[in-house]
Amino acid sequence: MLRLLLLSGLAFHSSVSARLYTDPAQLPIKEYDFLVVGAGTAGSVIAARLSENPAFSVLVIEAGSSNQNILAAEVPFLGSTLSPNTTVTWNYTTTPQIGLNNRTIPYPRGYVLGGSSTINFEIWTRGSIDDYNRFAKVSSDPGWSWAEMTHYMKKSEHLVPPTDNRSIFGEVDLAIHGIKGPVQVSLGGYIGGVDRRVIDTTREFGSEFPYNIDMNSGYPLGIGWTQNSVSSKGFRSSSATAYLTPAMERDNLDVLIQTRVTKLVAVSHANGVPTFGQVEVAQTPTGPRVLFNASKEVILSSGSINTPQLLQLSGVGDSALLASLNITTILDLGDVGKNLSDHAFLANHWLVNSTSTFEAVGRNASLAADLLAQWNMTGTGLFSDPGANQIGWMRLPSNSSIFQQYPDPSAGPTSAHYEFLPVNGFVSFVESTPATGFFLSIITNIASPLSRGSVTLASSDPFDNPIINPALLESPFDQYVMVEAIKTAKRFAEASAWKGYIIEAVGALNSTTNEDLASYARNSTSTVFHPVGTARMTSYSNKDGVVNPDLLVKGCSGLRIVDASVLPYIPAAHPQACVYALAERAADLIKAAWS
């Protein structure tokens, strides 16, 4: 029913700049200082920051559409209707997943200005101190450490009051946040349902579920209030709305949408080192190919799926794979498309004694219309809220038996092994909401997975989807963590705060043995869509990896990658805040290189 709201025709005020183009033939010039491939979370930051210098000319090329006038991309609560299988996602599907009983699963990525920041669930988590210090260690660059990156975390964000304008004393640490950045960040603005029960449980079971006033301090362990990329007026704040749209008033920035980059072109070779300085674009498989030139750099910001795909199409990757597809190798980098890491997602459900869960909205068109009207008039109410007001991060006990068989894949003692997300309703990417009953979901995600997958070409046709294998729950370590996370969720639901509210666990969640819970996990797990690592960063001296610490591609010149694909490990966090900070630092690195 909520998807039907997207057809309501509700109009939004919008300003589409004359600098937005829908056809390559419309652009007045074919050479820019910088070509940015992808206007997603990172690409929009890069385009906006580089165009701050009026001496730089910038063209950003986006395969998808404009973000303007898309209802669900504005209303936080409707974010879940943006994927999968919509016009604003790439609508990918994975290979059969061994760890999920050979199920294939949808794998949406943002196909719109703002990329996945326009279609995600808006949760804003930085990750841990150890996450960033590990980035610094593997890159041998202290600039990627927590101490150095906090500047960029603050630079990207503007902490604002929640839409209900309540006091947030004791719910957030104001001192650690930015107050002047482009992305508006707030706490949930609609408090009710299960929120107080969650907080009461942290008081009763404080040793296992300690209250954390602000997990974005670098010490995320515990349960606290969720921060979201939502404005004080109740709108989604994305890289498109926060960075790109304001920058599009500048004469030195052009934005081309509905156009796919089909190849990165090396314009010269000197001493065996290729220099990339052109991109080839097309709008359809049979349409004309058009070349654009970069006098300084091509910046690839196409995300963890499309970045390795485009590198491989351009002859950058494993030479054996490229040869099998009759693609000439320009640069033999075997790690391109490898090291794919993602957060496995499992929604655990309980039937509850309530009539005010999200099911009440989904089954009542009049109520949904009233809530939408409230949001449209005042920017408040349930629709101003993404839907999960608390979040938790947990570690396995240090004496867990699994560590006798596998090394700890987490970044360190401040990083979680799994995530814990209570939601006032039925949430699932695997099964439909039941027609009757009201539900509590406690989502468990693998925050520090050991499993690694890959992205490879299916063919040399740039309009063919790549082969995506995130290897979800493939490692026995990840399966063990998911079972422990499920058992933790069940203990959480036994607190006195839930007595009289929870009726019973649903389905196989009632299982009591580890074997049965593992079977339940394999049958019901999907992903929360956080792919990273397919063009991983390593130190200058390391021949493995794809980019150096300055994010320039190894073994060539003129080509830099700025997106989640460069992260050598997945942060124990929803990664958008990390990607914004990464892009902010990358923009400074690029400016310094060309100052």
Which residues does the annotation mark as catalytic?
530, 574
Determine the Cα angle at 453 with ends 452 and 454, to 5°: 140
**Which amino acid is located at 146 in the chain?**
W
Q: Which residue has the tokens 């949760």?
A: 123
Tell me the C-alpha distance between 105 and 6, whole Å. Answer: 24
Strand locations in 176-308, DSSP E? 183-187, 222-225, 227-228, 253-256, 260-270, 273-282, 290-300
DSSP collapsed to 3 states, 524-584 = HCEECCCCECCCCECCCCCCCCCECCCCEECCCECEEECCHHHCCCCCCCCCHHHHHHHHH
Closest CA to 583 of 245, 336, 299: 299
Q: Report the first-to-last Cα separation within the chain, whole angstroms.
A: 53
In whole angstroms, how far apart are CA 442 and each of 479, 485, 489? 17, 10, 7
3-state DSSP assignment of residue 225: strand
DSSP E strand stretches across 470-529? 502-505, 526-527
| 424 in Cβ contact with 194 (< 8 Å) | yes
Distance CA 435, CA 363 (A): 8
Instruction: Give residue 129's identity as a one-letter amino acid code.
Output: I
Residues 6+ apart with CB under 8 A from 227: 123, 124, 125, 159, 172, 185, 186, 187, 216
Q: Say if residue 278 carries a ligand binding annotation.
A: no
CA-based Rg of the chain, rounded to a whole angstrom? 23
Q: How far is CA 541 from the centre of its chain?
A: 30
Find out whether 45 is annotated in a ligand binding site.
no
- The answer on whether 481 is annotated among ligand-binding residues is no
CA-wise closest residue to 183 among 582, 502, 576, 592: 576
CA dihedral 123, 127, 132, 138 (to 10 degrees): -90
DSSP string, 36-94: EE--SHHHHHHHHHHTTSTT--EEEE-SSB--TT-GGGTSGGGGGGG-SSSTTB--EEP
Q: Is 261 annotated as a binding residue?
A: yes
Residues making up the annotated binding site are 112, 261, 575-576
Residues making up the annotated binding site for FAD are 112, 261, 575-576
